[in-house]
Amino acid sequence: MNRHYPHPIIAREGWPFLAGIVLLASLASWFGGVWSAPVWIIALFVLQFFRDPPRDIPQNPKAVLCPADGRIVVVGNAIDPYRQREALKISVFMNVFNVHSQRSPVDGVVEKVEYHGGSFLNAALDKASLENERNAVLAKLADGTEVTFVQIAGLVARRILCYTQAGETLARGQRYGFIRFGSRVDVYLPLGSQPKVAIGDKVSASETVLAELP
């Protein structure tokens, strides 16, 4: 295993929010003393939401790593809507207490990035895959295997950030996106891939192996 993490332990997306809430809490302390406690509690919540710790990354080339922290809500065959073919679909639901950065599940070249506007349904619902705002990354591995991973906004989430584009190379565990606040990531794999997780499992980005490729 190795660690791939080119960013600070607090996600860069969080610094404006942290600066604002800490300033507000400091002013509340100055003028309100102990009555500022609720504001500091909110500041702690913002701090934990934007935490983004380094992770140990398995190097098995057949392993597909989890792209996000959360809970498994789907494991089964489905149609990959971006490649229009049947695939193994594994979905990870993130609540507001999970780390919300997304990390590449494989080593590969980005073939395409597709953004789609949409609704903001509860991301735990399966229909969120097709109806919610979402951003798909279509990647190809060195052996030609094609994998699709999709950031999906949720009930509270209102901003999907993706930092990769077609032609770039992603390394497994590399941070490529972020979603605020509570969301979901779908992964579509070739048929024959063997799932290593089950519905209800708690998973960690980069460290948990979702499946092994055929």
Residue at 192: amino acid letter: G
Residue-wise pLDDT for 121-160, tens only, equals: 666 667 767 777 899 999 999 999 999 999 998 766 567 8
- Residue 124 has what pLDDT? 65
The pLDDT score that the predictor gives to residue 186 is 95
Phi and psi angles of residue 22, each rounded to the nearest 5 degrees, phi first: -70, -40
Active site residues: 183
What average pLDDT does range 48-56 have in this prediction?
Answer: 78
**Residues 24-44: pLDDT tens digits?**
877 777 877 777 788 778 777
pLDDT score at 38:
80
Q: What is the pLDDT, as a whole number, of residue 4?
A: 47
Question: Residues 63-84: what's their mean pLDDT?
Answer: 95
pLDDT at 1 over 50: no
Maximal C-alpha separation, the chain? 63
The pTM assigned to this predicted structure is 0.83
Among 85, 81, 78, 148, residue whose Cα is nearest residue 111:
148
Alpha-carbon torsion angle 198, 202, 204, 208, nearest 10: -30
**H or E stretch at 139:** strand 134-140
Question: Residue type for 119, please?
Answer: S
DSSP secondary structure of 160-177:
EEE---TT-EE-TT-EEE
Rounded to whole angstroms, how far apart are CA atoms 129 and 150?
8
Average pLDDT on 175-192 reads 88
CATH of 60-206, one of 2.60.40, 2.40.160, 2.70.70, 2.40.50: 2.70.70
Average pLDDT over residues 10-18: 72
| pLDDT of 74 over the 90 cut | yes
Percent of the chain with pLDDT strictly greater than 70: 89
pLDDT score of 2: 40
Q: What does the pLDDT read at residue 21? A: 74
Other residues' Cβ atoms within 10 Å of the Cβ of residue 55: 21
pLDDT of residue 69: 93
Q: How large is the average pLDDT for residues 90-117?
A: 91
